[in-house]
Structure 1
Amino acid sequence: MAVRGAILILVAALSLRAVPTWYVLVWIALMAAAGLPAVLRPAQPVIGPLSRLAEVVITCLAAAAITHAAHRPAAGIGTAAIVLSYLWVPGVSAALARRRFEAPLLLAAAAVVLVAARLADPSLGATGYTGSSILWLWLSGVAAGVAVFVQQSLLSERDSPQPYAEATRLLTQLRTVARQLPGATLDPGGLAEHLLDELRAVVPATRAAVLSASGGGRLVVLAQMGADRVDWETGLDADSAIADAWASQQPQTANRSQARSAVTPGTEVSALIVPLVAGVRTVGLIALETDTPGAYPPPLVARAAQVAAPAALRLEAALLFDEVRSLATSEERQRLAREIHDGVAQELVMVGYGIDNALAALPDVDATTEELRVLRSEVTRVITELRLSLFELRSEVDRYGGLATAIADYARTVGQSAGLRVHLSLDESTARLPAATEAELLRIAQEAITNARKHAGAENLWVTCTIDPPFAEIEVSDDGHGMVDTPKEGRYGLAIMAERAERIRGRLEIRPRVPNGTTVAVVLGSAPRRGSV
């Protein structure tokens, strides 16, 4: 509407300047009236096309009439071009209304009217009317064609299933490749350890680690090797060879350690940082160090880069596969939580309300009343269990809070609902584990805490978290009656914990607690020996 109005006003002003008479305003008003239904109902199958046809016919008649009224050849040439400049509007309007075959019909109708007017009034031949008609018919056709092309492009981009088909094809290929790969398959930790083994076979290294990107602009340690476990630099904004190698995508050497606690400050060492570049993206870094100064000359640096180059694409594929799997798992857990909350949980609440109404209607001395109270207590217990299950399904490791915080929050919530005294011991470094590993450790801890609440009959719950990437140890202990009296239905949870630990290449340990109770621990990597570094 705004475009039509602006063009009509412009046509009216220029026409009045060429032919200053009220006769011009009459034709402009007729053009506006003809186009009004097309503006109000552009996609209507009858009103829209008829209105646009009327616009075309009246525009052509107006061009002929106003040109004839000019009486001067020079004025006639300008007036015909001015009025016919509106001719492209109906064609473009038809294209935008997704009626691409209407625009050629409108131009054909315009040509018929213009030719008929020229034959009916021979005097128009001396005004340049014919040239203006041909020019604006051609320009209107071009404008309509461009509008049809743009409209079809937008529709194809919005409605085409091609992106989904491509995504399906790629995911299918990824699944096939994951099944065919030997050994560590698409496990980032396994690939990182294998890469360290390959590099240490060609270059000297006392300490080595593979780091990859994570949230918050920091790096995570995927694998680490050496006599002592060290705390590597994981910040990309620090003044370090690690940050330089990530930014430049070129190997970097340094004469100081890239680990925060590897050697005595001021001691000169040799450090080599090799970036893992897949295409144009830096997907990880390999940090190598030895206590011998000058241990990485340029030929050895080039050899290390040559060995590391093929691993970049493999590591990126493993990280992407891990991320897709984590996202899919998280989405499924959220979906299950919504379905349980909106389905079974709501229905149980309504059952509880029904029992409450029945209890209010029955006398207290009725024998049925006691049975209803027992039933109401059981419904309340099941609702509580469902709420805890929903909390467990929706619990995630916060991007900034960390794994220990997530486990502690879950332990406090469960302990409060079950009347357990919860004792927490948290030791988490600033470095982070890979997101998928943190998610698996959280689920193992949740299952261990849930088992203690349901089956142990305990009064106290001890949760210990020691996280020093790539090492992690989560320990959950209770003072209940131990594994001997554990109900059989709890055994399935133990199998799930073992599967989760195996997936992240960890070790699950279940042992009695002295003097009573059970301890469940999951250990990832080997314990740090900070005292020796």
Structure 2
Amino acid sequence: MAGESGWQTVHTESGSWRAIPPEARVRTPPPWPRIHALPVASRATLLAMATVLSLWATDDARVLGWLGLLTLAAVPSLLGAAHPVIGPLSRLAEVVLCGLAAAAVAAESEPAMAAAVLPYLTVPVVVAVLYGHRIESFALIAGAAGVLTGAGLTDGLAGEAGYLLACAQWLVVSVLAGEVIGAMRRRMQNRRVAPQPYAEAARLLTQLRSVARQLPGATLDPGGLAEHLIEEVRALVPVERSAVLSASGGGRLVVLAQHGTDRVDWETALDADSAIADAWASQQPQTSARSQSRTTVPAGTEVSALVVPLVAGVRTIGLVAMETDSAGAYPQPVIKRVVDVVGPAAIRLEAALLFDEVRTIATTEERQRLAREIHDGVAQELVMVGYGIDNTLAALPDTPDSAPAVEELRVLRAEVTRVITELRLSLFELRSEVDRYGGLTAAVADYARTIAATGGLRVHFTLNESTARLPAAVEAELLRIAQEAITNARKHAGAENLWVTCVVDPPYANIEVSDDGSGIGDSRPDGRYGLAIMKERADRIRGRLEIKPRNPTGTTVAVVLGTATRRGSV
């Protein structure tokens, strides 16, 4: 299967699909021509019908001669139907000879008897359509019309109504037959290429992998690109507060990165009366003498705000907002300098956001698949094992001799029940996602309540979430880190209390999980793997994982995104 770009997707022996670029494709010679039964049968039937009717209408040898030549023209048309030169020329010869034979029959008998031969016109027209040559089919119809007109003028049939009606009738029938067959062919092709989206996806992902390997450094990190863009803008124009915002669900923006010494609660609603919303809708830079944040600005403070959209192609993928505490700080020459920097950055940021989205979708799908496999496989089998133990306990006699076996089975049944409970919690963890409208703190709180209820823990919450949202990929990673910390506290710490703190103020976030258990030591080697996973997740979103003892007992695990020093009391 090949796309418009020349790439070809092949099915490998292992059962997977692989995209092959044009330069790597092996050229194979075309196979020997195959003669299908349907073209042979249709030509033979129509030629036999034309011969019988012509002999019935006239015994002129000239008519039989034209039919003989038509039979000879059918041979190369059958053998070379797919050939780029022989095929069209042989079909044209069939059309010309068919028109001459029809005119000869009409001249030697009745004008309407041209219909004895004209049905053969449908054969070359339909064959041309079947090989994907729709324009050729119309050219053949036009050629047939020309031959019939010329032969009619030569034989004095131009004024005969029966001849003209027969010619017009079969020309129209040939056109309709070609169109019907063409529509059926296109429909069957669409069915055959049903895997095309997968082939296209394989091609694009292969290209993405190649490009990602060639890019220098971590240039597919949206947060890093956003911070670099802010630094570029700050080097050009006066900026005291700035941020890079990108699209998210629910008609709001998320803060990818920001700069400033004070807390800035940027206006992220796209339906608000703000330069941010205007820049998003118009795809043009917007200036304002009003701050673009929801933070109260002291009375009498002069503010200059500039919002430049990040446009990739025809889509707005984000905005760069900047402010300074002075009037008229962003005249037209300054705006042009900023636009010249922001333009190329939009393409880089779009690539990073798309890569992040693809990775998030793939991760979510894999988690859902694992949850289904566990639920339908191991979990169901363990339940059946538990039922088998119950049946065995019920069948054992209540005698002193069977008491040891009964006790062992009860211990085994308790262990199976514990494993089933752990599997159900794992399923809950795999299926847990940050709701589009609920937010990160709600997802963390729901998970903590469920886990604490199964482990008999008392959970204490401190939740503080801004109306602004973090990028979806960042929220997902923070949720997974919190889940791992909560699970470790329940399974390994032997704790009675759990303290969960969530502070989300994009692009800053702090998720902290503390317990009053035994703490982390050499006696808990099974928790080391979970800590390594949390560290990897934190590094992926450019966060900091902090693990420290809690006074007087227990452990505190915190992941911090951004810095809190510029956020006042946070």
* Both structures adopt the same fold (TM-score exceeding 0.5): yes
2:494 to 442, 445, 457: 457
Please list the CA deviations of residues 134-169 of structure 1 after superposition, one character each: whole Å capped at 9, or x if unmatched: 112111111111122222233333433554333222
Which residue identity lines up with residue 404 of structure 1 in the other structure?
T
**Residues in 1 aligned to 2:569 and 2:455: alpha-carbon distance in whole angstroms:** 42
Instruction: Report the counterpart of residue 308 of structure 1 in structure 2.
Output: 342
CA contact 1:464–1:476 (8 Å) conserved in 2:
yes
Instruction: Report the counterpart of residue 372 of structure 1 in structure 2.
Output: 409
CA contact 1:256–1:267 (8 Å) conserved in 2:
no
CA contact 1:470–1:524 (8 Å) conserved in 2:
yes
CA contact 1:209–1:225 (8 Å) conserved in 2:
yes
Please state how far the C-alpha of 1:421 moved relative to its aligned partner. 1.0
1:139 to 159, 167, 172: 172
**Residues in 2 aligned to 1:477 and 1:384: alpha-carbon distance in whole angstroms:** 23
Instruction: Report the counterpart of residue 235 of structure 2 in structure 1.
Output: 201
Which residue identity lines up with residue 506 of structure 2 in the other structure?
P
Please list the CA deviations of residues 55-105 of structure 1 after superposition, one character each: whole Å capped at 9, or x if unmatched: xx9xxx9xxxxxxxxxxxxxxx9x99xx99xx99x99xx99xx999xxx9x
Instruction: Report the counterpart of residue 359 of structure 1 in structure 2.
Output: 393
Unpaired runs of 5+ in structure 1? 1-44, 62-76, 105-110, 112-123
Instruction: Report the counterpart of residue 439 of structure 1 in structure 2.
Output: 476
TM-score, normalised with respect to structure 2? 0.72
Please state how far the C-alpha of 1:309 moved relative to its aligned partner. 0.8
Please state how far the C-alpha of 1:176 moved relative to its aligned partner. 2.0
CA contact 1:455–1:486 (8 Å) conserved in 2:
no
Instruction: Report the counterpart of residue 490 of structure 1 in structure 2.
Output: 527
Which residue identity lines up with residue 416 of structure 2 in the other structure?
V
CA contact 1:228–1:532 (8 Å) conserved in 2:
no
**Residues in 2 aligned to 1:532 and 1:125: alpha-carbon distance in whole angstroms:** 99
Instruction: Report the counterpart of residue 253 of structure 2 in structure 1.
Output: 219
Please state how far the C-alpha of 1:265 moved relative to its aligned partner. 5.5
In the alignment, structure 1 residue 399 sits paired with structure 2 residue 433: no
Instruction: Report the counterpart of residue 71 of structure 1 in structure 2.
Output: none
CA contact 2:263–2:568 (8 Å) conserved in 1:
no
1:281 to 312, 315, 318: 315
Q: How does 1:109-124 map to 2 (within 5 A)?
A: none
Please state how far the C-alpha of 1:293 moved relative to its aligned partner. 1.0
Flag the 1:503–1:483 CA change in 2: closer, same or farther, 3 A. same
1:156 to 181, 189, 198: 189
1:501 to 531, 538, 553: 538
In the alignment, structure 1 residue 128 sits paired with structure 2 residue 161: yes
Please state how far the C-alpha of 1:266 moved relative to its aligned partner. 6.0
**Residues in 1 aligned to 2:300 and 2:380: alpha-carbon distance in whole angstroms:** 65
Instruction: Report the counterpart of residue 101 of structure 2 in structure 1.
Output: none
Instruction: Report the counterpart of residue 251 of structure 1 in structure 2.
Output: 285
Moved over 4 A (4+): 124-127, 528-533
Q: Secondary structure at the match of 1:178?
A: helix
Q: How does 1:4-15 map to 2 (within 5 A)?
A: none
Flag the 1:127–1:182 CA change in 2: closer, same or farther, 3 A. closer
Instruction: Report the counterpart of residue 3 of structure 2 in structure 1.
Output: none
**Residues in 2 aligned to 1:532 and 1:362: alpha-carbon distance in whole angstroms:** 66
**Residues in 2 aligned to 1:317 and 1:524: alpha-carbon distance in whole angstroms:** 23
Please state how far the C-alpha of 1:410 moved relative to its aligned partner. 0.6
Flag the 1:191–1:125 CA change in 2: closer, same or farther, 3 A. closer
CA contact 2:260–2:566 (8 Å) conserved in 1:
no
Flag the 1:397–1:351 CA change in 2: closer, same or farther, 3 A. same
Please list the CA deviations of residues 284-338 of structure 1 after superposition, one character each: whole Å capped at 9, or x if unmatched: 1000100011111110010010011110000000000000000000000011111
Please state how far the C-alpha of 1:132 moved relative to its aligned partner. 1.9
1:448 to 465, 485, 492: 485
**Residues in 2 aligned to 1:211 and 1:169: alpha-carbon distance in whole angstroms:** 31
Q: Secondary structure at the match of 1:527?
A: coil
1:515 to 524, 549, 552: 552
CA RMSD, Structure 1 to Structure 2 (Å):
3.6
Which residue identity lines up with residue 322 of structure 1 in the other structure?
D
Flag the 1:301–1:262 CA change in 2: closer, same or farther, 3 A. farther
Which residue identity lines up with residue 189 of structure 1 in the other structure?
G
Q: Percent identity?
A: 70
Q: Secondary structure at the match of 1:483?
A: coil
Q: Secondary structure at the match of 2:220?
A: coil
Please state how far the C-alpha of 1:530 moved relative to its aligned partner. 4.8
Please list the CA deviations of residues 356-403 of structure 1 after superposition, one character each: whole Å capped at 9, or x if unmatched: 000000123411000000000000000000000011011111111111
Q: How does 1:156-175 map to 2 (within 5 A)?
A: 156-160=189-193, 161-175=195-209
The 10-residue stretch of structure 1 (481-490 or 468-477) with the greater mean CA deviation from structure 2: 481-490
TM-score, normalised with respect to structure 1? 0.77
**Residues in 1 aligned to 2:186 and 2:465: alpha-carbon distance in whole angstroms:** 53
**Residues in 1 aligned to 2:232 and 2:566: alpha-carbon distance in whole angstroms:** 25
Q: How many correspondences in the alignment?
A: 447
Please list the CA deviations of residues 243-284 of structure 1 after superposition, one character each: whole Å capped at 9, or x if unmatched: 111111111110010011162266320001011111111111
**Residues in 2 aligned to 1:532 and 1:246: alpha-carbon distance in whole angstroms:** 32
Please state how far the C-alpha of 1:430 moved relative to its aligned partner. 1.0
Which residue identity lines up with residue 339 of structure 1 in the other structure?
E
Instruction: Report the counterpart of residue 343 of structure 1 in structure 2.
Output: 377
Instruction: Report the counterpart of residue 328 of structure 2 in structure 1.
Output: 294
In the alignment, structure 1 residue 423 sits paired with structure 2 residue 466: no
Q: Secondary structure at the match of 2:521?
A: helix
Which residue identity lines up with residue 249 of structure 1 in the other structure?
Q
Instruction: Report the counterpart of residue 30 of structure 1 in structure 2.
Output: none
**Residues in 1 aligned to 2:160 and 2:397: alpha-carbon distance in whole angstroms:** 105
CA contact 2:493–2:517 (8 Å) conserved in 1:
yes
Which residue identity lines up with residue 372 of structure 1 in the other structure?
L
Flag the 1:411–1:275 CA change in 2: closer, same or farther, 3 A. same
CA contact 1:468–1:528 (8 Å) conserved in 2:
no
CA contact 1:461–1:476 (8 Å) conserved in 2:
yes
Q: Secondary structure at the match of 1:130?
A: helix
The 10-residue stretch of structure 1 (254-263 or 298-307) with the greater mean CA deviation from structure 2: 254-263
**Residues in 1 aligned to 2:317 and 2:536: alpha-carbon distance in whole angstroms:** 28
CA contact 2:261–2:566 (8 Å) conserved in 1:
no
**Residues in 1 aligned to 2:445 and 2:569: alpha-carbon distance in whole angstroms:** 30
Which residue identity lines up with residue 295 of structure 1 in the other structure?
A
Q: Secondary structure at the match of 2:218?
A: coil
CA contact 1:220–1:434 (8 Å) conserved in 2:
yes
**Residues in 2 aligned to 1:242 and 1:446: alpha-carbon distance in whole angstroms:** 35
CA contact 2:244–2:255 (8 Å) conserved in 1:
yes
CA contact 1:231–1:262 (8 Å) conserved in 2:
no
